[in-house]
């Protein structure tokens, strides 16, 4: 039995919810980087770090 046959089918919403969330957080980070200083800088760094954290997490899970 192949692995693809054993996995249940997921809806489009279940497939794209995490990428959409990462995209929204990145957009918030980009806009806040343009909007101001101080707390906006912290928000922009946090928002723009989300895709990098997701990449590191995915790479670490793939190697196991």
Please state the φ and ψ torsions of residue 9, each to the nearest 5 degrees: -75, 140
Number of Cβ atoms within 10 Å of the Cβ of 21: 12
Do 29 and 44 form a contact (C-beta atoms < 8 A)?
yes
Q: Say how far apart CA 10 and CA 59 lie, in whole Å.
A: 22
Q: Say how far apart CA 17 and CA 47 lie, in whole Å.
A: 17
Residue 6 lies in a domain: no
For 10-57, what is each residue's pLDDT tens digit?
Answer: 898 889 999 999 999 999 999 999 998 999 999 999 999 999 999 999
Domain total in the chain: 1
pLDDT, position 36: 85
Residue 1 lies in a domain: no
Residue 7 lies in a domain: no
Residue 4 lies in a domain: no
Q: What is the pTM of this model?
A: 0.76
Residue 19 lies in a domain: yes
What is the residue range of 21's domain? 12-30+37-62
Query: In this model, does residue 62 exceed pLDDT 70?
Result: yes
């Amino acid at each position: 039995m192949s692995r693809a046959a054993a996995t249940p089918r997921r809806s489009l919403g279940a497939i794209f919810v995490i990428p959409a969330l990462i995209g929204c957080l990145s957009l918030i980070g980009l806009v806040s980087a343009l909007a101001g200083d101080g707390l906006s800088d912290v928000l922009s760094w946090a928002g723009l770090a989300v895709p990098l954290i997701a990449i590191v997490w995915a790479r670490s899970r793939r190697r196991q």
